Amino acid sequence: MTVYRRDDFAFPPARGRRGVEFHADGTFTGWLIGRGDAPEAAGAGRWSAGGQISSGSGPTASIVSVAADRLEIRWEG
């Protein structure tokens, strides 16, 4: 399971972080740590209001828990 926090969460210093960005049209963008520790888009997919996430070439996932300051996703495969 992976836990995601909001952009404004007070994380301790780090050399980059992975992330996921959900869009209102039902798509999402995955973010990896790129060159120079800058975020780099790495894949896209679709999400549903029922909590299912899928990508064309990557793993599928389920949203386990959603709170105002925390998102938990269980990635499969």
55-75 pLDDT, tens per residue? 766 668 899 999 999 999 998
pLDDT of residue 53: 86
pLDDT of residue 77: 66
pLDDT of residue 70: 92
Pick out the chain residues at pLDDT < 70.
56-59, 77
pLDDT of residue 58: 61
For the chain, the domains span: 17-75
Residue positions counted in the chain = 77
Please tell me the pTM assigned to this model.
Answer: 0.71
pLDDT of residue 57: 63
Strand, coil or helix: 67: strand
Q: What amino acid occupies position 45?
A: G
